[in-house]
Amino acid sequence: MSTTPFPRLSDDDLATCVHCGLCLDACPTFRITGLETESPRGRIYLMTQWKRSTLAFDEAQVKHIDLCLGCRTCEAVCPSGVPYGRIIEAGRADVEDMRRPSFKRIASRVALRQLVGHPGRLRAAGAATRIAQRLHLTSVARSGRMLPRLRARFRPPASGVAPAIGARKHRVAFLVGCVMPILYPQSHEAAVRLLQLAGCEVWFPQGERCCGALFAHNGDLAGAETLRVANMRTYEAGSFDALIVDSAGCGAHLKDFYPGLKGRVKDLSEWLLEVGLPEPKREVKVRVTYQDACHLAHAQKIKKHPRDLIRSLPGVQLVEMRHPDICCGAAGLYSTLEPAMSNQILQEKLEDVIATNADVVAVANPGCQMQIESGLRAQGLTMKVEHLSELLARAY
């Protein structure tokens, strides 16, 4: 039996699917293609048959597994409780063992292990990218065009602790993470300020690395496990009431795969509603639409908290888009590995976003922010995309 929290593909999990098809219309790739093989049911069928060796493993069919966003919308609507998130992550790891290695796959695994898994190297790459942006050298590759204009990265205070503003009521740890402090430092800055205002002393665990979510989504469970073990050593060396996460993908991964933190991982919105923010100081006169991050809405079942926080801001008008809980096509490395499908899904999302005529699209995940922001930018639109923390911090 596995001693890690990352189980391999299990017959019991696969057997929970009763093939009813109720998940099909919720699946973004099925909605685009109409193909059974691009649906949750079709993918479960393929993984089941390969596991039982009742269907020969076929490299061409693996594309259907690659095209899954891992968004878990299917899991949210499935009446049989199919643990699709666990199935696809374990299934991907199995598929990676069986398939012929491709350059794209090898490159993504090397980039994750040699870059994302090492904060120092990632920071150096971030600094180099900032310089390249200033020299206008990043607009050739799609991934380069998608990047926001980088600012100085998020830096925790030298003491490793940000004090509570006013009376200290809680001590929380804060997940700085891998790419978010480089891509969107302003989201972390706002999140930490909100925590301080809510009476939290904020501890930044030194030596913390990437949580491993990107590794697990990419089928590299061994890489994710190495990071989990290293991070647990860091967390166990400190004391805190909750570990606060402002990136939905990381929060879902920590909740699912860090049993040592059970019950103590909180999404920022969850925690702020639990402990309460002070009265807002000023009006925030904007029309806002909120894009549910898949790993917040479906994996963590958190939809109401961000909306309640937005509605609590004086002056804000919250307008719902059509299908706010359908994936925007970002999905970790998906927009880089599967650009064509990612872009088709994004175009549908942009139509829904634009139809709201909002001033601001609020998000809870850096991947969604980068995807929607780059899509709006490509259409020459000035609608702003902001992390929920930035929007809330406007009121203080």
Binding residues for ligand SF4, per CB under 6 A?
17-23, 26-29, 40-41, 43, 68-74, 78, 80, 82, 84
Tell me whether residue 50 or residue 154 sits nearer to ligand SF4 (CB atom): 50
Cβ 91 to ligand SF4, closest distance in Å?
11
C-beta of residue 199 within 8 angstroms of C-beta of residue 170 = yes
- Cβ-in-10-Å burial (0-12, 13-18, 19+) of 262 comes to exposed
Residue 315 Cβ vs ligand SF4, minimum distance, rounded to whole Å: 36
- What is the smallest separation between the CB atom of 99 and ligand SF4, expressed in angstroms? 18
Q: Give whichever of 19 and 169 is closer to ligand SF4, judged by the CB atom.
A: 19
What residues contact residue 38 under an 8 Å CB cut-off, 6+ apart?
27, 29, 30, 32, 64, 67
What SS3 class is residue 384?
strand
CB of 101 to ligand SF4, least distance (A): 23
Which distant-in-sequence residues (6+ apart) come within 8 Å of 168 by Cβ? 199, 200, 201
Minimum distance, C-beta of residue 95 to ligand SF4, in the bound complex (Å): 14
Select 74 or 277, whichever has its Cβ closest to ligand SF4.
74
State in angstroms the smallest separation of the CB of 67 from ligand SF4: 7
Q: DSSP letter at 153?
A: P
DSSP state of 261: G
Asked if 343 contacts 329 with a C-beta cutoff of 8 angstroms, the reply is yes
Residue 3 neighbours by CB under 8 Å, 6+ apart: none
**116/122 Cα distance (integer angstroms):** 6
Instruction: Give the nearer residue to ligand SF4 in terms of CB position, either 68 or 310.
Output: 68
Task: Report the 10 Å Cβ neighbour count for 176.
Answer: 21
Name the burial class of residue 188, with classes exposed (0-12), middle (13-18) and buried (19+) by CB atoms within 10 angstroms of its CB.
Answer: buried
Instruction: Return the number of the residue (117 or 219) whose C-beta is nearest ligand SF4.
Output: 219
Find residue 200's DSSP bridge partners.
170
Please identify, using beta-carbon distances, which residue of 28 and 366 lies nearer to ligand SF4.
28
Least distance (Å) between residue 88 CB and ligand SF4 = 6
Helices 84-98, 248-257: axis angle to 10 degrees equals 90
For ligand SF4, the closer of residues 20 and 237 by Cβ is 20
Which residue has 């069986």 as its token pair? 98
Q: How far apart are CA 44 and CA 57, in angstroms?
A: 14
Closest-CA residue to 344 (of 102, 69, 126): 69
In the complex, minimum distance from the CB of residue 39 to ligand SF4, in angstroms, rounded to a whole number: 6
Q: Are 345 and 375 in contact (CB under 8 A)?
A: no
| DSSP for residue 63 | H
In the complex with ligand SF4, the residue whose CB is nearer, 43 or 130, is 43
**Residue number with CB closer to ligand SF4 (51 or 188):** 51
We find the least distance from the C-beta atom of residue 158 to ligand SF4, in angstroms, to be 42
